[in-house]
Amino acid sequence: MSQGTVAAASRPPVLRARAAYGPYAAFAAFGIFWGAWGAALPTLRTRAGASEGQLGTALLFIGLGALPAMAFTGRAVDRYGLRVASWLLAALAGAGLLVTAGADGVVLLIIGMLVVGAASGAADVAINTLAGRAEHATAKPLLTRSHGLFSVGVVIASLSTGALLGAGLSLLMAFAVVAAVMCALAAAAQLTSTALQIPAHQGDASARQERVAPAGSGAAAPRGARRLTGLLRRISPTSPLFVVGLVAALAYAIENAHQSWGAVMLTDVFSASPQLAAAAPATFAATAALARLSLAPLSRSHPTAMLLGGGALATAGSAVLATAPSVAIALVGLVLAALGTATLFPTLLSRSLRGTDPAQHGRATSTVAATAYLGFLLGPAYVGMLAESSDLRGALLGVAVLALVFTLAAAPISTWACGRAAAAGQTQPTAGRRSLSRARDRCR
């Protein structure tokens, strides 16, 4: 029996049931924000008096705000606890209100984008840490299911926000409704996250292991050697996770490329109407939600098959979309691509965290998520650059190449990274070979 299963079995059934509610509520709140944000962008652009080019430039500042926040949030979660996720979701809701209330001009719009990016990036890391901790405690595929709730939130909020704005409600009032729902969900996540807290003596164990030298070697070792050993111990669990983040960046690049360019593909290649073109992102998001909710158990029980199968489907879907002779076939390609990419990032993150000490889940999640976010930012730009040199069909074939590279790299690299983290966590002399073997078994 794995440690995750033992931990789950040792908790009261009520707490194990409650542990799932926090990640679900947190990811639903996160999806509600981004669904509303996407629906509100045209109105926000008009309010700020920005051209399409100026809006595109302003949107880049979301990434500029998110990346540094993602890099530092993990340590805050490990230090202050999982309640940080609820605080950051409330901060994201406030950032949405701030930008919708004060974006009178391009400069203020850019400042608002920076604030939204910082709050969003920090919340992203925190809620993924929350879901990872819940999955560790319950041995259930909560990461993938939580990402499914995010997609559901995106679809519901985008349609609802569009309806509110269409009914004449102001942009600020629409986001006030969004903020109220987000804060309610954040409060629900806060109430359930207490079931997942790690006792202080366990949370400090890793720090003590870094400070205390192994028996029989510390007293005689020079101070410089002890410092170097401590540094290597701190680096070794996270360096493989950085490599996993680079692989996850491919998954995010593929996903955001399709999400961002699907409607453009239908418009430019097939001269689709705006209503028909809007079916592309809606189809992608709805398919991703269904895939994440229905395939979640497999992401934990058969991660290698999910990574290989998902990558292959993403490759095939991208190729079908690039060569589609009609709108119907193009939508089939989007469905295949969504089925393939939907579970890639949560499966990678779940597998990578299996060998990591739960007290370090925040830092580990921060490493993977911040690195992967580069793919989210660069994916649409990658398509744009390829389209400039060839055409949109050729650019989407370039996305298929990324998916093929992911398919070949994801399973072996995530297994290696988990094994390295498990080995690094079993450095005590009392661990023994059997304990290390059990830790590595969790990575398969």
Helix/strand/coil (H/E/C) assignment for every residue in 207-260: HHHHHCCCCCCCCCCCHHHHHHHHHHHHHCCCHHHHHHHHHHHHHHHHHHHHHH
191 and 239 inside one domain: no
| Range in 129-133, 351-355, 375-379, 381-385 with the lowest mean pLDDT | 351-355
Domain end (from 148, 177, 196): 196
Share of the chain above pLDDT 70, in %: 78
Per-residue confidence band for 18, with pLDDT thresholds at 50, 70 and 90 = low
In a domain, 8, yes or no: yes
| The residue count for the chain | 444
126 and 15 inside one domain: yes
242 and 172 inside one domain: no
| Mean pLDDT of the 200-224 span | 41
| Mean pLDDT of the 382-403 span | 88
242 and 162 inside one domain: no
In a domain, 229, yes or no: no
In a domain, 39, yes or no: yes
Closest CA relative to residue 316, chosen from 291, 295, 339, 286? 339
168 and 274 inside one domain: no
How far CA 398 is from CA of 98, 336, 371, 384, 430, in Å, comes to 38, 16, 21, 11, 50
| Mean pLDDT of the 4-25 span | 59
In a domain, 59, yes or no: yes
Could you tell me the residue range of the domain that residue 249 belongs to?
234-444
Residue partners of 104: CB distance under 8 A and separation at least 6: 47, 48
Joined together, the tokens standing for residue 282 give 């809606």
pLDDT at site 225: 43
In a domain, 93, yes or no: yes
Task: Express each pLDDT in 332-362 by its tens digit.
Answer: 999 999 999 988 988 888 887 776 777 777 7
| Range in 75-84, 152-161, 417-426 with the lowest mean pLDDT | 417-426
Per-residue confidence band for 206, with pLDDT thresholds at 50, 70 and 90 = very low
In a domain, 418, yes or no: yes
CA distance 85 to 126: 5
**Number of domains forming the structure of the chain:** 2
384 and 322 inside one domain: yes
pLDDT at site 429: 43
In a domain, 213, yes or no: no
Domain end (from 196, 218, 252): 196
In a domain, 56, yes or no: yes
111 and 187 inside one domain: yes
Per-residue confidence band for 78, with pLDDT thresholds at 50, 70 and 90 = confident
pLDDT at site 311: 94
57 and 106 inside one domain: yes
Per-residue confidence band for 274, with pLDDT thresholds at 50, 70 and 90 = low
- Does the pLDDT value for residue 193 go beyond 70? no
Domain holding 48: CATH number?
Answer: 1.20.1250.20
Q: State the pTM of this model.
A: 0.70
Joined together, the tokens standing for residue 341 give 């990419």
Joined together, the tokens standing for residue 330 give 């193009």
Q: What is the residue-averaged pLDDT of the chain?
A: 78
pLDDT at site 444: 60
Per-residue confidence band for 19, with pLDDT thresholds at 50, 70 and 90 = low
Per-residue confidence band for 209, with pLDDT thresholds at 50, 70 and 90 = very low
